[in-house]
Amino acid sequence: MAINFKLILGIIGNIISMCLFASPMPTFWDIIQKRDVQRYSTIPYVCTLLNCMLWVVYGLPDVSLQILVVTINLSGCLIELIYISIYLVYAPKKTQKKALKLMGAMMVSFILVVVIVFKVVHDKHRRKLIIGVFCAVFSVGMYASPLTVMGMVIRTRSVEFMPFLLSLFNFMNGLVWFGYAFVGHIDIFIMIPNGLGALSGTAQLLLFFIYRNAPPVVAQQLELNETGTPTETQPPSIHIISTDCD
């Protein structure tokens, strides 16, 4: 009996993707414990929800018929909805309104795309092309988002905000789904973004091993390097320059 490598890769991909979806749990546990969203943003979770919904549509029988793509992204939709719900419960009213407006705009855009594609485009291959382009472009954008964090790692020489396990799962997720898209009938819409994801994960892992034991650049040093202007003589700050990396 022939081994179905595509099926095996798809199942492994589902498991790894679930680990990725679960990775923000400590963030939301922190929000629940403190009953405050602090400086966290809902934007990454709304964008991930939209990305998952697009991939669910892509995997449907009337588009490309890829059940394993549907299963993992349905799970992703559920998990992201839980995250967003927790965020809305503990966010102040002003932040809630902004988050709800973003959610509303995202849902309207998604519904318009799906309705237009299914009502106007009757050819299955053209549907796959249109939805696939949306999925690939959006996924490439999401895989590019760690570039900001990678730049910060290089500037600060600190991997504090680039956890090893998250970088490893990003790499593995991109690699496995790239293999899934490459085996059998090649699917460029899955292959391209996940190939870039594997490269992004590789770069993150390289940075981790380069800077994991490096002395970090503290705030005062970074300011001096960027401006070239000496600051007052003070004891070096122990706080690393950082931005929100939720």
216 pLDDT band, cuts 50/70/90, is: confident
Res 239: pLDDT: 30
- DSSP one-letter code for 218: B
- Residue 145's pLDDT band, with cuts at 50, 70 and 90, is confident
Average pLDDT over residues 205-220: 80
Burial of residue 69 (number of CB atoms within 10 Å: 0-12, 13-18, 19+)? buried
* pLDDT bracket for residue 3 (50, 70, 90): low
Q: Report pLDDT for 78.
A: 97
What is the per-residue pLDDT across 93-121, written as a single tens digit (0 to 9) for each? 999 999 999 999 999 999 999 999 999 99
Contacts of 219 (CB under 8 A, 6+ apart): 237, 239, 240, 241
Tokens at 64, concatenated: 């490309």
> Could you state, in order of their start, the residue ranges of all structural domains in the chain?
5-227
Whole-angstrom distance, CA of residue 186 vs CA of residue 180: 9
Average pLDDT score over the chain:
85
pLDDT at 229: 44
Is the model's pLDDT at 45 over the cut of 70? yes
Listed in sequence order, the residues at least 6 apart from 205 whose beta carbon sits closer than 8 Å to its beta carbon are 164, 167, 168, 171
d(CA 158, CA 208): 9
Cα 43–177–199 angle (5° rounding)? 70
Distance CA 164, CA 159 (A): 8
Backbone angles phi, psi at 240, to 5 degrees: -80, 140
Q: For 51-75, what is each residue's pLDDT tens digit? A: 999 999 999 999 999 999 999 999 9
Q: Which of 16-30, 118-132, 204-218, 222-236 is predicted with the least confidence, judged by mean pLDDT?
A: 222-236
